[in-house]
């Protein structure tokens, strides 16, 4: 709470007039509510001491905090102080300055105010006014809004399990709000983009969403408080999101809300386009004709519309689906006439029009919204984007709300969600609305049909999709002569798409794979491919990328000759972008009898030779690969649900190594499940995997099965050690070697370790180096060493022991001659901590481990794999 006397913000605040401070409050109001959530009780305490808030008001605020309603508490505080007048507001801004360094969102706002200088309300559009439209334009606007409202007021969803092929919902009834943040996280996606984000979700959500990541509502996307650019021209906004996360539905909701007068009153006209439609445009076109093709009612008024460009919003949905590349760093567009598009009547390529609108070369004062998958977001790096946003999907209670809206019977909704919630993998999938849709379609029948047994409810993604396909075949399979033949052809097209990273197919693709568009009349293909009769073209897509991957895997599994299995799996090794990872998980999952069971009625028994080939592939891969390849194998083993395979592979390999991979809690769940299939594991290497306490919590119940357990550099902390102690206390504990070095451990966990190891009968080698133990922990460490009778070597290097503590630990060597206590302290009292000695770690580790004790148990090759020699 100490003020920063050198803060330029403090200086500015003393110069601001009361009216300016009030304007800042209005401008940053929504963001300030988020920014002070984590510190609202501290702000309230400060203002109470300053007699701005009464004791009763402070109690009301803190009571909301104690109930977990921090958002409501921060809103209440701001409303109370705003109503108390200028001096109270000034005191509150002073509190903000004092607390800024502990609240990242608040610090960000204050830095923005610093940049605004002595005139903080400059360029603030708290209430933008529009010029009056002529009456005939008002008529066009009302007609335009009415048309957009009709186009966007309903959602069409495939039903699969009921007689209706498509069920239509009112958008307002079905739409569930998504969590959107006002930034785009910087991460290179080297694996499948959908599940990469899904696994990533649990890792950062609790840590960053409330503390650092600012939420932004759809109606705030063009609010200059979130803008990163200072310009008198219009704003260009980019919204990122993985497939199925709800980008297109969000655009539909934005257009519907504007048409019904709920948002964006500053825009007189909204023109929305899909890049998928724009792909069909051949040759050159101008903005006038582009609008006329989609909105013919504007034929006679566009000249007047151009006169007020600040009242125009252009929306382009699905940049990742655009066939042409738009290079925003290409300077030729700004100097060579054939690439320039500065007039709505100018004839040019579609890509030139989109470029010119986003870069404010064409109708400079207009605003643009573009959506994209993360994989295509790099195309916009050099673009003049004012606001970056990312859709995170459903967080917390939003998942449950989706199922409540999907099922009319709330008893069924509760039962389905309960099943999903109890399965960590399915629950993690639910951040994505498309996954929720698939889960609801596939799981619903198990809780509504009397002849279904809940013992067979799908537990893996492969099983889930098997029942999804089963539901389609059950409803439409008899409408075609040979569903297997059609499915195999469709699967071949799907596999070609996976290989070529292609998700949109034309009629030519269907014909090439001997699929006739007329077959859609049967209803069978209608459930596996979505037909989009857009304005400009006829295209087909799978309802979701993972459905395409599953159908591809199913077809390959059913027809693959045993000799072709190695070739099939070598596809993934030939590329580095992870395009085959989900496909391979499905292939492994189809080895599960429960995945085969619902489909064999229509597709016949699954070939045993393929199953054998997959098993051999998993064995070979686990025996010869480490790191990310092993992570893929984890998913494959879990999908297979084959206990014998897990025992034969995980129990067979010398080391199950993931060193250096950033494992999320989701990965740890899978690892735990696979280890759970085994009686024991020779070695689990998790060095520098950032699993932290959250990941260890998922693994805690199976760690006792590992003979060698390496957890170096995972920031487990003392709370993580408490979880590990349960494994050490387990009567069946097999842990012989345990590495907890470089984990931020402090004195408070020494007692827990001593207690856990007092009954342990397996531990031989224990590494606690590079932590923060001091002399205070020496009694507990002495007790640990004395009571753990099997212990022969303990490393305590580079901790914070001093003087007498060092002597007490070294004296233990005389009590147990065969015990090695390796202790090296900091060379000077002035050292800043164990981190100063990181550069010595590898050299000394090699020296210390090359002993007869280690060499007797581990071959030089094994030590080499561990990275010690």
pLDDT along the chain (869 residues), means of 10: 49 76 82 87 92 93 88 92 90 88 84 71 51 81 94 76 61 73 50 40 53 76 66 79 83 94 91 90 92 91 92 93 79 66 91 92 93 80 86 81 90 91 74 83 80 69 88 72 86 90 84 78 67 65 82 88 67 67 87 89 87 79 66 81 75 76 79 82 90 88 94 90 93 95 92 94 94 93 92 92 90 82 62 40 38 34 30
* Integer angstrom CA distances of residue 801 from 797, 809, 832: 9, 9, 13
pLDDT score for 858: 33
CA 401 vs. chain centroid, Å, equals 19
Main-chain dihedrals φ then ψ at residue 169, nearest 5 degrees: -115, 155
- Percent helix, strand and coil across the chain, each to the nearest 5: 55, 10, 35
pLDDT score for 519: 63
DSSP secondary structure code for residue 789 in this structure: T
DSSP strand E in 34-188: where?
154-158, 166-170, 179-181
* Integer angstrom CA distances of residue 750 from 718, 735, 758, 772: 9, 18, 12, 11
d(C-alpha 680, C-alpha 704), whole Å: 8
pLDDT score for 648: 72
By CB neighbour count within 10 A (0-12 exposed, 13-18 middle, 19+ buried), where does 742 fall? Answer: buried
* Integer angstrom CA distances of residue 121 from 21, 26, 30, 223: 9, 10, 16, 14
CA quadruple 354, 355, 357, 363: dihedral positive or negative?
negative
Nearest residue to 42 via CA among 30, 31, 53? 53
What angle in degrees, to the nearest 10, is found between the helix axes of 104-116 and 18-35? 150
**Alpha helix stretches (DSSP H) within 535-591:** 545-559, 565-573, 581-589
pTM of the model: 0.61
The DSSP-derived string for 273-322 is: EEHHHHTT--S-B-HHHHHHHH-GGGTTTHHHHHT-GGGEEEEEE-GGG-
């Amino acid at each position: 709470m100490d003020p920063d006397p050198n803060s330029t913000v403090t200086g500015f605040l003393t110069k601001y007039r009361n009216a300016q401070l009030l304007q800042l409050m209005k401008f940053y109001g929504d963001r300030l509510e988020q920014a002070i959530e984590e510190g609202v009780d501290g702000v309230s305490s400060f203002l109470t001491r300053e007699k701005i808030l009464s004791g009763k008001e402070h109690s009301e605020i803190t009571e909301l905090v104690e109930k977990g309603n921090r958002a409501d508490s921060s809103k209440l505080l701001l409303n109370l102080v705003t109503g108390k007048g200028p001096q109270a507001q000034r005191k509150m801004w002073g509190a903000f300055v004092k607390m800024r360094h502990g609240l990242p969102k608040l610090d960000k706002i204050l830095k923005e105010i610093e940049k605004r200088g002595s005139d903080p309300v400059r360029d603030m559009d708290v209430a933008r006014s529009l010029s009056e439209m002529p009456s005939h334009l008002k008529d066009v606007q009302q007609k335009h809004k009415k048309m957009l409202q009709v186009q966007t007021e309903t959602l069409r969803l495939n039903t699969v399990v009921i007689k209706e092929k498509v069920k239509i919902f009112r958008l307002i009834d079905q739409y569930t709000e998504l969590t959107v943040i006002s930034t785009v996280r910087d991460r290179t996606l080297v694996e499948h983009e959908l599940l990469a984000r899904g696994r990533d979700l649990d890792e950062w959500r609790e840590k960053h969403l409330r503390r650092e990541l600012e939420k932004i509502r759809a109606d705030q996307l063009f609010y200059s408080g979130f803008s990163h650019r200072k310009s008198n021209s219009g704003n260009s906004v980019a919204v990122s999101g993985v497939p199925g996360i709800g980008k297109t539905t969000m655009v539909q909701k934005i257009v519907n809300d504007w048409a019904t007068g709920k948002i964006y009153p500053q825009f007189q006209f909204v023109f929305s386009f899909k890049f998928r439609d724009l792909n069909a445009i051949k040759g050159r076109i101008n903005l006038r004709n582009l609008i006329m093709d989609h909105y013919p009612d504007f034929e006679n008024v566009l000249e007047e519309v151009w006169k007020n460009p600040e009242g125009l919003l252009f929306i382009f949905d699905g940049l990742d689906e655009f066939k042409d590349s738009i290079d925003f760093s290409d300077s030729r567009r700004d100097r060579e006439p054939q690439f320039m598009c500065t007039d709505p009547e100018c004839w040019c390529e579609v890509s030139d029009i989109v470029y010119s609108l986003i870069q404010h070369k064409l109708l400079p004062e207009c605003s643009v919204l573009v959506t994209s998958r993360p994989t295509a977001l790099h195309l916009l790096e050099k673009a003049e984007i004012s606001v970056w946003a990312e859709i995170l999907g459903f967080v917390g209670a939003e998942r449950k709300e989706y199922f409540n809206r999907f099922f009319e019977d709330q008893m069924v909704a509760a039962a389905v969600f309960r099943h999903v919630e109890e399965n960590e993998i399915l629950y993690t999938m639910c951040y994505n609305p498309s996954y929720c849709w698939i889960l609801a379609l596939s799981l619903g029948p198990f809780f509504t049909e009397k002849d279904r047994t809940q013992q067979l409810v799908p537990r893996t993604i492969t099983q889930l999709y098997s029942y999804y396909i089963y539901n389609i075949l059950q409803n439409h399979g008899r409408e075609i002569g040979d569903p297997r033949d059609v499915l195999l052809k469709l699967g071949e097209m799907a596999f070609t798409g996976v290989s070529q990273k292609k998700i949109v197919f034309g009629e030519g693709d269907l014909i090439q794979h001997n699929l006739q568009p007329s077959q859609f009349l049967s209803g069978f293909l209608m459930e596996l491919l979505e037909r989009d009769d857009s304005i400009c073209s006829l295209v087909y897509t799978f309802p979701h990328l993972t459905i395409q991957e599953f159908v591809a895997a199913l077809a390959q599994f059913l027809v693959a000759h045993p000799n072709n299995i190695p070739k099939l799996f070598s596809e993934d090794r030939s590329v580095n972008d992870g395009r085959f990872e989900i496909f391979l998980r499905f292939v492994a999952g189809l080895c599960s009898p429960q995945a085969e069971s619902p489909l064999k009625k229509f597709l016949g028994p699954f070939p045993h030779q393929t199953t054998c080939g997959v098993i051999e592939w998993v064995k070979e891969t686990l025996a010869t690969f480490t790191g990310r390849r092993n992570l893929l194998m984890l998913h494959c083993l879990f999908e297979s649900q084959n206990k014998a395979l897990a025992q034969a592979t995980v129990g067979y390999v010398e080391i199950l190594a993931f060193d250096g991979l950033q494992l999320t809690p989701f990965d740890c769940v899978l690892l735990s499940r696979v280890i759970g299939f085994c009686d024991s594991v020779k070695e689990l290497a998790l060095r520098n995997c950032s699993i932290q306490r959250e990941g260890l919590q998922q693994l805690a119940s199976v760690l006792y099965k590992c003979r060698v357990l390496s957890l170096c550099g995972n920031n487990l902390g003392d709370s993580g050690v408490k979880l590990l102690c349960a494994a050490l206390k387990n009567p069946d504990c097999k842990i012989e070697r345990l590495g907890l070095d470089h984990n931020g451990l402090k004195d408070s966990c020494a007692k827990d370790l001593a207690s856990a190891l007092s009954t342990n009968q397996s531990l031989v080698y224990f590494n606690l180096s590079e932590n923060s133990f001091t002399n205070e922990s020496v009694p507990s460490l002495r007790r640990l060493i004395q009571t753990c009778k099997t212990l022969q070597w303990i490393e305590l290097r580079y901790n914070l022991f001093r003087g007498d503590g060092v002597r007490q630990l070294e004296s233990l060597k005389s009590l147990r001659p065969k015990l090695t206590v390796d202790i090296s302290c900091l060379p000077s009292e002035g050292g800043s901590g164990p981190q100063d000695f990181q550069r010595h770690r590898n050299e000394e580790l090699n020296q210390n481990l090359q002993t007869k004790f280690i060499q007797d148990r581990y071959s030089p090759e094994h030590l080499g794999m561990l990275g010690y020699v």
